Structure 1
Amino acid sequence: MDIKPAAVVIPKETDHLEQGKYGPVFPRTPACYGFTIIAEVKPGRAEAIRGYGYTLAKALEGDPDLLAPLKLHYLRWVLFDDDTRFMYQGIFDTDFDKYTEDAIMLFGRAGVSTAFENLVGFPEDWRTNPEAFIKFVREHHCPSFIEYGEYPYVTADEIKKALRIKHSLSEMLDQLQ
């Protein structure tokens, strides 16, 4: 199998894109699916966002599969402009609608809050009003205009499988020595 790096330019206009349940379905790119949210932090809430990051990291230590339903590749949180703005960037294998619905379900089922609660304009009723949650995300989404993948269109599950195979082969070869 020959996997060549690839890039895709994403159009600025989205009227021609397929419409999903909550708006345009951005195309799957070599980096899979994803979105970037940039929003204003409620005054004095930057430390709460950082604290939520520590809480999430600790929860993942206890349950490494906690976020598995989201089919994430990467998640990046950034506080910037003197902690007044927040960027959430996620790369995942499902389209926007499914990812967002899965996130609401996951956090609701786990009974946990979201760092987004510390952002200006985030709906207080997000657990019971997925449309308001999605509206907030869509309004704060800053679409990329080009995405590149060194190993394009490969899912997180395929990567994990390849790493398990590599590990098994390494163990086997070690035993032969």
Structure 2
Amino acid sequence: MTISNTPQPSRPGLKSGRTNEFTLFFNVKPGHGQQIREIFQQPGFEEKRKEMSSRIGTLHDARWVLFDDDTRLLFATNFDGDWDAYIDDFAAQIPDVFDAILQHTEDYPGIHDPNIKDAIVAHQETACSYFRTIPDATVKDLQKAVRVQEAFQRLLDEAT
């Protein structure tokens, strides 16, 4: 699913090798901080989060942080590839999660709004500095390296 949007020459965020940083700041609707916390405390949420991130396939990590007495919300990730494709993946693969959380913030139009990319850019801040230890290792590269290492360890274990 590709979301149409206002063309922009470039998107915010710094790049390190093949990975990009992505940081959003939102104002939380008054009194909605606890509702956001409860989303993350739902039974099975961690398992659901793992399954959702594997659907996206380019997401290295993600963190949500309520701060300033639950009046502000941070969403920060690192991802591989193109900014627009990343947003399209969120809209296609896990739209309900974004909407469930961000409905508690001001000025969030919904993931299926035709201008969602403009809304995201309005909340995105580019980091002052961004560093990755292994900048050219994508999520797929890292997953493959783990599988190879596990197979190699099994071979070593079987040889002893």
TM-score of the two chains, using structure 1 as the length reference: 0.75
Paired residue type of 1:157: K
Give the structure 1 partner of residue 104 of structure 2: 118
Do structure 1's residue 93 and structure 2's residue 80 form an aligned pair? Answer: yes
Range that drifts further, 68-77 or 157-166: 68-77
Do structure 1's residue 58 and structure 2's residue 41 form an aligned pair? Answer: no
Paired residue type of 2:30: P
Paired residue type of 1:113: D
1:65 Cα shift?
Answer: 3.0
Give the aligned CA root-mean-square deviation in angstroms: 2.5
Aligned length: 153
Of 124, 140, 143 in structure 2, the residue corresponding to residue 160 of structure 1 is 143
Unmatched 5+ residue regions in structure 1? 1-19
Q: Distance in 1 between matches of 2:126 and 2:97?
A: 30
1:70-81 to 2 correspondence within 5 Å?
A: 70=56, 71-81=58-68
Aligned-pair identity in percent equals: 24
Judged with a 3 Å threshold, the aligned counterparts in structure 2 of structure 1 residues 111 and 29 are, in CA distance, closer, same or farther, namely closer
TM-score of the two chains, using structure 2 as the length reference: 0.82
Of 114, 119, 135 in structure 1, the residue corresponding to residue 118 of structure 2 is 135
Paired residue type of 2:66: L
Q: Output one character per residue of 1:123-162: Cα deviation in whole Å (capped at 9) or x when no partner.
A: 1xx243142x222210111101221111112101100100
Q: Distance in 2 between matches of 1:39 and 1:163?
A: 35
